[in-house]
Chains A and B, each alone.
Chain A
Amino acid sequence: MELVTPAIGLVFWMLVTFSLLLVILKKFAWAPILTSIKEREETIENALSQAQQARDEMSKLQSQNENLLAEARSERDSLLKEAREMKDKIISEAKSAADEEAKKLVARANDEINKQKQAAMQELKKEVASFSVQIAEKLVSAELEKSEKQQSLIDAQLAEFTKN
Chain B
Amino acid sequence: MRIPSFTALRASQATLANSIFYVLLVVFFTFVSPLQASHIDEELAEDSEMDEKFEPGRMILEHVSDAHDWHLWGHTAIPLPVIIYSPEQGLKIFSSSRLEHGHAAYEGIRLHEGHLIWEDEACTDGLYDLSITKNVMAMLLASVFLMFMMIRTSSTYRKRAGKAPRGFLNLLEPLILFLRDDVAKPSIGKKADRYMPMLLTVFFFIFVNNLFGLIPVFPGGANVTGNIAVTMVLSVIVFLTVTFSSNQYYWKHIFMPDVPVWMYPIIIPIEILGVVLKPFVLMLRLFANITAGHIIILGFFSLIFIFGAMNPTLGYAVSPVSVAFTVFMSLLELLVAFLQAFVFTLLSAIYIGMAVEEHH
**Partner-contacting stretch, out of B32-40, B102-110, B155-163, B318-326:** B155-163
Q: Please give, as numbers and ranges, the residues of chain A lying within 8 Å of B151 by CB-CB distance.
A: 25, 28-29
- A-B contacts at CB below 8 angstroms, number: 126
B132 within 8 A of partner (CB): yes
With both beta carbons as reference points, the residue of chain A lying nearest to B83 in the complex is identified as: A9
B230 contacts partner chain A, Cβ-Cβ < 8 Å: yes
Question: Which B-chain residue is minimally distant from A21 (CB atoms)?
Answer: B143
Per-residue 0/1 for A1-23: is the Cβ within 8 Å of any B Cβ (1 yes, 0 no)?
A: 01111111111111101101110
Do B205 and A18 touch (CB < 8 A)? yes
Chain B residue contacts of A43, Cβ below 8 A: 162
Tell me which residues across on chain A come within 8 A of B158, comparing CB atoms. Answer: 32, 36
Residue contact B197 to A22, C-beta cutoff 8 Å: yes
| Contact of B128 with A25 in the complex, beta carbons under 8 Å | no
B224 to chain A, nearest CB (A): 9
Contact among B198, B201, B227 for A10, CB-based, below 8 A: B227
Partner of B65, one of A2, A17, A20: A2
Contact A21/B228 with A15-B233, A34-B193 known, Cβ cut-off 8 Å: no
Indicate which residue in A21, A29, A40 contacts B154 across the interface (CB closer than 8 Å): A29
Closest residue of chain A to B135, judged by CB? Answer: A10
Interface residue A120 (Cβ < 8 Å from any Cβ of B): no
Which of A8, A22, A28 contacts B128, CB < 8 Å? A8
Is A25 touching B200 in the complex (CB atoms < 8 A)? Answer: yes
- If A22-B198, A25-B201, A40-B162 touch, does A34 touch B180 (CB 8 Å cutoff)? yes
Most B Cβ at <10 Å: residue of A8, A9, A20, A25: A9
Beyond the given pairs A14-B233, A37-B177, 4 more chain A to chain B contacts, judged by CB atoms under 8 angstroms and listed by A's residue number, are A3-B291, A13-B139, A30-B150, A36-B154
A-B contact pairs, 11 of them (CB 8 A): A4-B287, A10-B66, A11-B233, A18-B205, A21-B147, A29-B151, A30-B197, A32-B157, A32-B158, A34-B193, A37-B177
Write the residues of chain A forming the contact surface with B, with a CB cutoff of 8 angstroms: 2-15, 17-18, 20-22, 24-26, 28-34, 36-37, 39-40, 43
